[in-house]
Structure 1
Amino acid sequence: MARVFILLFMLHVVLMAVALISCLSAEKRDVRALPRFLWVPVIVLVPIIGPVAWFLSRRRPILGGISPAGSPARPLGGPANRARPPAPDDDPDFLRDLDAEQAKRDRELFQRWEEDLRRREDDIRRRETDDREDQHRPEP
């Protein structure tokens, strides 16, 4: 039985610490129902129920997409009509530009390789021609 009490005490301490940190670091607009100076004693002095009440008070109620005040519900902390930009790997324009840039780099690399190959082939041909001419020259 002592283990259960120890476990409940540890749960209370951890929950209280997390709730206190959350309460003290919350934006002013996110502190609801009570002022912050009243939330701190409630969280500390009311075991388990105080921290749970803090977390439940921070949740914004959503009733069919309309909040109780009659305004459309919105995500916590964000403006009502702010669209989130898509992630780069979900943005087709970004992916298209990325593919175009990669294709351009590939073409430039391929052209450098071809130029290097032509230069090396020309050097080899020149050496072979010089070697043949040296072989056919009579020695003085």
Structure 2
Amino acid sequence: MQKYTKYLFFISLFLSLLSLYIIGKGGKEIYPFYSWKLFTSPSGSEKFEEQYRLYRVEGNDTIRVLYQATEIYDENNLALITGFYGKKIEKNENREESIKKMKIFMKSYRPEYNNLLLYKESFNPWDLGKPSFKINKILITKL
């Protein structure tokens, strides 16, 4: 494998630059390692992961709001913004102002969604794919 390392480096560099060019032209990322998130905060590096997620209420059901890229936001931005305001709301750091900003953010992302719930989810990434995989949810607030 070591003899292929330099070739893999140049292939990775080429694909990263190609992804940069395509994203600059308005396209989607084609190379998953273009995003440095894989290197800076990989899932599974810790035994405990926390995320803030939004759910919408339809009738008696709660449906998780999926992060789907739009013209304004990509999936990483959506997760980061939700996490940023979720943490502020949970820790009561300018809670009312943070709730207001979160509502404004959601209106710009998905204006059709009403009756949103903000949850803090925690899980063990090492259990992903196992039949016993469990996500613990704590309701933070209603938006």
TM-score, scaled relative to structure 1? 0.25
Which fold has the larger relative contact order, with Cα–Cα distance below 8 Å and residues 6 or more apart in sequence? 2
TM-score, scaled relative to structure 2? 0.25
Q: Which is greater in Rg?
A: 1
Return the structure number with greater helix share.
Answer: 1
